[in-house]
Amino acid sequence: MNQPQLPHGPGFRLVDEIGPVEPNLSLRGRTWLNPAWPIFRDHFPGQPLLPAVYFVEMAAQTSGALWASHAAFSPSMPLQLVEIKKFRIRQPAFPGQNLQIVATLGATWPELATFQVQIFRDNDLLAEGEVVMGKGKPAT
């Protein structure tokens, strides 16, 4: 696994490592839920858990890395989450856990692509759904 090439700064990068694009056009990401993240201090003090929106953002970051790698986009090409479809949180995640994010490329158009995403802790499916990514406008 390698460090992901993501447009996010280190404070918002939720995927620690990514693997190579697999033949079925999927990509595996991995992240460790650092107990020191400020969100864990206040998201249910004393019983912290990962907010559901973080699952969605991990899905978007992994999907964006897959699309950028598969399509050989320039690092300056901004990719944005444009739609969340059928996303379901099946089990919570907690500080100190390791998660695996698996994104698989679905349909593509010139400006959009769909991805099926699953997030696991070991063999337990925690979340799954579909996200749509779009090409953004480069900053000027």
Query: Residue 10 pLDDT > 90, yes or no?
Result: no
Q: Which two tokens stand for residue 102?
A: 């698996």
Stretch 47-52: mean pLDDT: 95
Query: Residue 139 has what pLDDT?
Result: 61
Cβ-based neighbours of 8, under 8 Å, separated by 6 or more: 14, 61
- pTM to 2 decimal places: 0.92
